[in-house]
A and B are shown apart, each in its own frame.
Chain A
Amino acid sequence: MDRPLFRGNFKPYVSPRDPCPPILVKKFVLPPQIFTNFQPPGLPQNSPAEALKQGSLWPAFVDGYYREEGIS
C-alpha cells in the first residue's frame, strides 16, 4: 500500500548555523484525489471486504499512510 506516486519531496535551505542536525530532504503527501477533478467511470474496484478495510471502493484513491514512511 506504499504509494511513492503520491508523495513529494523538496530540499529545504540548510544553514551551516542550524542548531540541529539538518534534514536534507523534506517529504510531504500529494494525495490521489488532488490529481482528478471528477472520478472517471469504470475504475477497477476493491473486493467488498478490502473496500471496507481500506475505506475506499477504488484502489486508485488509496495511498495509505504509515509513520514508518518518515514523512514528519
Chain B
Amino acid sequence: MWVYEKKLLYPVEVSTCNPTLAKYLMEQYGGADGELAAALRYMNQRYTVPDKVIGLLTDISTEEFSHLEMLATMIYKLTKDATPEQLEEAGLGAHFVNHGHSLFYANAAGVPFTATYIQSKGDPIADLYEDIAAEEKARATYQWLIDVSDDPAINDSLRFLRERENIHSLRFREAVELLKDERDRKKIF
C-alpha cells in the first residue's frame, strides 16, 4: 500500500524547447536500464529475498517510481507544445504517429518496454548482483544524458538522479554484506 504525495521528489525545470532531448530521456523512462525496469525488478524480487533485505528492495523500488515520475514530467514538458513537424525533426515522428502527444514506455530508439529487460532468479546473490549492475548502468546512462544535454535545468535534475543511483548501488552492496554475515551462523534459540 502506498501513500501518494502530489509533488515531485526533486524539482523538474526545463529551460529550453528541445524535443530531441525528450527522445534521449526516454532511455531512462522505458529503456532496459531505466527507472521503470528498476522499479518493477525490485518490487518483484522483494518477495523472495531474505527477510533482512525485503524492506530495502521495497523502499528503493518505491523511490524508482518517483524517479520515473520525474522523467515523465521532463519528457512531457519537452514535447507537449511541439508541433508534429518539430517532433518529426526531433526523431519522434514515429512516436507521434503511434502515440500522439502521449508518453509511452519505450527506449530512446523507440523500442517498447519488455519484461525481458529484468530478471528474478530466486537466488539472493544473483538478484542483488543484478540490482547493483542495474544501478551502475543507470548511473552511466545519466552521465551520457548529461553529456548530450545542454539544458542546465534538466542537467541539475539528472545529476540528482545520478547521485541516487550511487546511493542505491551502495545499499545493495550493503545488502550483500548482510547476507554474507549469515555464513555458518549457528542460530541458538
Contact = CB atoms under 8 A, between A and B. Distances in A.
Contacts of B147: 67, 71-72
Main secondary structure of the interface of A (DSSP, over half): loop
Contacts of A33: 166-167, 169-170, 173
Given A38-B177, A55-B164, A65 B159 contact: yes
A39 B166 CA distance: 12
Given A71-B143, A72-B144, A72-B147, A37 B174 contact: yes
A39 B171 CA distance: 8
Contacts of A36: 170, 173
A37 to B, nearest CB: 5
B162 interface: yes
A32 B144 CA distance: 18
Given A37-B173, A38-B174, A54-B160, A61 B143 contact: no
A18 to B, nearest CB: 22
Main secondary structure of the interface of B (DSSP, over half): helix
A66 B167 CA distance: 18
Interface string A32-72: 11101111000000000000111110000111111100011
A55 B167 contact: yes
A3 to B, nearest CB: 11
A66 B173 CA distance: 26
B166 A31 contact: yes
Contacts of A71: 143, 147
B38 to A, nearest CB: 15
Contacts of B136: 31
Nearest to B161: A55
Nearest first, the 9 A-B pairs at minimum CB distance are A55-B163, A33-B170, A55-B160, A67-B147, A38-B177, A33-B169, A55-B164, A37-B177, A33-B166
11 contacts: A33-B173, A36-B170, A37-B173, A37-B176, A37-B177, A38-B177, A61-B167, A65-B162, A66-B159, A67-B146, A71-B147
